[in-house]
Amino acid sequence: MSLAQAYLVLAAILLLSGGLVYFNAPILKSFRRDKFATIILLIAAVGWFGFHLLHLPEPDLAGLPREIIVWVFVIAGLLAYFTMPDFLSVRALGVLMLFTARQTLDAGYRQLPYSLLDASISYAFLVILGLWWAMSPVAFNKQCDWILEKPARSKTLGIFFFVTGLACLLQIKFIP
pLDDT of 109 = 83
Q: Domain segments of the chain: what residues? A: 3-174
Q: Are 28 and 168 in contact (CB under 8 A)?
A: no
pLDDT single digits (tens) 40-61: 999 999 999 999 888 877 777 7
pLDDT of 47 = 93
For the cut 90, the answer to whether the pLDDT of residue 173 exceeds it is: no
Q: What percent of the chain has pLDDT over 70?
A: 99
Q: Are 106 and 120 in contact (CB under 8 A)?
A: no
pLDDT single digits (tens) 151-163: 999 999 999 999 9
Closest to 69 measured CA to CA, from 42, 93, 95, 49: 49
What is the pTM assigned to this prediction?
Answer: 0.85
